[in-house]
């Protein structure tokens, strides 16, 4: 039981750390925009956005899957029979 909780915690912490790094990259690109010698770094900003959006989506899906298994979601978030594979 404790091992499962530690694995679940790691599943949540690793993507959260990646998302934090993505926010850092976006912040750095935004503040470098005010330096006239460098300008705005679109590649750094887009990489930061991807590193933020993908882990947040993963965490949301993980939580939704976990709550669906325990029937703790509203009916509009439950899978319908015609959607199952």
Q: Which domain holds residue 59?
A: 2-73
Total-model pTM: 0.76
Write down the residue that tokens 């499962």 correspond to: 4
Q: What is the pLDDT of residues 7-16, one digit of tens each?
A: 888 888 999 9
Segments in the chain forming alpha helices (H): 2-32, 42-69
Decide: residue 25, CB within 10 A, 0-12 exposed, 13-18 middle, 19+ buried: buried
Q: Is 29 domain-assigned?
A: yes
pLDDT category at 79 given cuts 50, 70, 90 is confident
Q: Which pLDDT value is given to residue 74?
A: 83
């Amino acid at each position: 039981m404790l091992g499962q909780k530690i694995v679940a915690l790691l599943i949540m912490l690793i993507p959260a750390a990646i998302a934090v790094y993505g926010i850092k990259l976006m912040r750095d690109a935004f503040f470098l925009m005010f330096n006239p010698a460098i300008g705005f770094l679109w590649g750094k900003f887009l990489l930061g956005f991807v590193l933020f959006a993908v882990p947040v989506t993963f965490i949301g899906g993980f939580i939704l899957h976990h709550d669906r298994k325990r029937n703790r979601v509203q009916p509009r978030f439950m899978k319908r029979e015609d959607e199952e594979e």
